[in-house]
C-alpha cells in the first residue's frame, strides 16, 4: 500500500513574513541535470546516497517538510540532528544537515525526506509529465521562464523540536500560493509530499451547492489515531494567477475539518484552507525562480492519463507556540 504524505508541520515557532528560506546549503557540482523521479503515489521519490549504512535509499522530495529527515528504522544511526555527506538530485552535499528520527513504519520502502530547506536554496524544476526534477545552481535558464507565471510567498519558519527535546532553527520554508476552486479563491500550501488536494470542510461548504462525485473515504493517520476522511472530486480548479490557462477538471480531493489547518495558519500568518498536492500538480511542468517568488507553468497536459493515488494519508505533527 502506498503512503500518501502531507506536510511535516513539525514543532516550529512561527513567523509570518516572506523572507529568505534558511541557512546556506553547501554543495558540489554544476546542477542543471534532469534527475528521474518516481510518482507512484503522485509524490516525487528519488534515490539518495548517505555516508551512513545502508548508504542508498528511496527519499520523498517534500516541499511540505521544513527539514531533511532520515528514518532510523532504515538507517543505522543515532537519533538526533547530524550533518552527513549526501548525494541527491544531481549534486553532492558535504555535511548536509539532517534530522534522524523514527518517522516511517519499517515495512515502507521510503527511507527519508528531502525537505524544503534544501530545495528552496536553488532555482528548481519538477516535471510531473515526464517524471524528472532539476536543481539549478545558478539562474533559471531563460528558455524556462515562459508560459504562465504564478506568484508565491515563502512563509513560516521557527524551531523544530526533536524527540530528545533539543531544537533546530529553521527559516521560511512554506510555499503559499493562491488557488481557485470552483470559482472561490483560497491560500494553499504547495506540498509535493501530498498525493491529493486537501480542503477544509468549511471552505468546501462555501463553494457552490452542486453534486460532486464521491470516492468513499481514505485513511488519515494523526497523532490521535486513524480517522477516515471523505475523498471526492471537485469539478474544476486553477491557480488564481492563471485561472483560464491552468484549469483542470475533476480533481481528487480529501476533505478534513477546518481545525486541521490551525497550526499552519499560526506559523504562516495566512488563513490557509488547502494543501495543494499531486492530484492537481500531476499535469504540469513547474519551474521555480526563488528570488522572484514566481514559478512558470505551461498549459496543463490534459491528454495525459490521470493517475489516482491510493493509500493512507499521514497528517502532519503539531506545532508548538513560542512561550
Beta strands 69-71 and 91-101: pairing type?
parallel
Which residue carries 523514527 as its cell?
102
Is pLDDT of 8 > 80?
A: no
Query: DSSP states of 112-147 as a string?
Result: EEE-HHHHTTSEEEEETTTTEEEEESSSPPGGGS-S
Confidence of residue 164 (pLDDT cuts 50, 70, 90): confident
Residues 6+ apart with CB under 8 A from 246: 148, 150, 238, 239, 284, 297, 299, 300
> How sure is the predictor about 323, in pLDDT bands with cuts at 50, 70 and 90?
very low
Query: Closest Cα partner for 255 from 278, 228, 279?
Result: 228
**Predicted pLDDT of residue 154:** 96
Q: Are 188 and 277 in contact (CB under 8 A)?
A: no
Nearest to 315 by CA among 60, 10, 74: 10
Query: 313, 252 in Cβ contact below 8 A?
Result: no
What would the pLDDT profile of 26-35 be if each residue is shown by its tens digit?
A: 999 999 999 9
For residue 295, give the C-alpha cell: 514559478
| Distance between CA atoms of residues 169 and 176, nearest Å | 20
Instruction: Report the alpha-carbon distance of residue 22 to residue 134 in Å, rounded.
Output: 20
166-181 pLDDT, tens per residue? 888 888 999 999 999 9
Cis upstream peptide for 297 (omega within 30°): no
Domain ranges of the chain: 3-15+24-314
Q: What are phi and psi of 116, to 5 degrees?
A: -65, -30
Q: Which three cell numbers stand for residue 224?
A: 490521535
CATH topology of domain 3-15+24-314: Cathepsin D, subunit A; domain 1 (2.40.70)
SS3 46: strand
H-assigned helices in 156-237: 201-206
Q: Please state, for a pLDDT cut of 90, what percent of the chain lies above it.
A: 66
Amino acid at each position: 500500500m502506498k503512503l500518501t504524505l502531507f506536510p511535516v508541520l513539525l514543532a516550529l515557532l512561527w513567523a509570518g513574513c516572506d523572507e529568505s528560506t534558511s541557512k546556506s546549503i553547501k554543495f558540489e557540482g554544476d546542477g542543471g541535470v534532469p534527475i528521474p523521479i518516481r510518482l507512484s503515489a503522485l509524490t516525487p521519490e528519488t534515490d539518495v546516497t548517505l555516508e551512513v549504512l545502508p548508504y542508498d535509499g528511496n527519499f520523498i522530495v517534500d516541499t511540505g517538510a521544513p527539514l531533511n529527515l532520515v528514518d532510523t528504522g532504515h538507517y543505522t544511526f543515532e537519533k538526533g540532528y547530524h550533518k552527513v555527506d549526501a548525494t541527491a538530485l544531481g549534486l553532492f552535499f558535504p555535511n548536509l544537515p539532517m534530522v534522524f528520527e523514527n518517522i516511517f513504519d519499517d515495512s515502507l520502502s521510503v527511507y527519508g525526506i528531502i525537505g524544503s530547506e534544501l530545495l528552496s536554496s536553488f532555482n528548481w524544476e519538477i516535471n510531473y509529465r515526464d517524471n524528472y526534477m532539476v536543481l539549478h545552481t545558478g539562474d533559471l535558464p531563460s528558455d524556462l521562464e515562459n508560459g504562465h507565471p504564478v506568484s508565491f510567498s515563502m512563509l513560516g519558519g521557527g524551531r523544530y523540536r526533536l524527540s530528545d527535546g533539543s531544537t533546530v532553527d529553521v527559516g521560511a520554508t512554506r510555499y503559499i500560493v493562491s488557488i481557485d476552486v470552483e470559482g472561490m479563491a483560497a491560500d494553499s500550501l504547495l506540498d509535493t509530499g501530498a498525493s491529493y488536494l486537501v480542503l477544509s470542510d468549511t471552505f468546501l461548504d462555501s463553494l457552490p451547492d452542486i453534486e460532486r462525485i464521491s470516492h468513499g473515504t481514505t485513511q488519515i493517520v494523526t497523532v490521535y489515531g486513524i480517522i477516515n476522511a471523505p475523498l471526492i472530486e471537485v469539478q474544476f480548479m486553477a491557480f488564481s494567477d492563471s485561472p483560464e490557462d491552468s484549469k483542470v477538471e475533476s480533481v481528487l480531493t480529501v476533505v478534513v475539518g477546518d481545525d486541521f489547518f490551525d497550526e499552519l495558519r499560526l506559523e504562516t500568518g495566512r488563513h490557509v484552507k488547502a494543501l495543494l498536492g499531486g492530484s492537481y500538480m500531476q499535469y504540469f511542468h513547474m519551474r521555480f525562480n526563488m528570488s522572484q517568488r514566481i514559478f512558470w507553468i505551461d498549459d496543463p497536459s490534459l491528454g495525459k492519463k490521470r493517475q489516482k493515488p491510493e493509500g493512507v494519508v499521514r497528517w502532519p505533527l503539531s506545532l508548538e507556540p513560542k512561550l
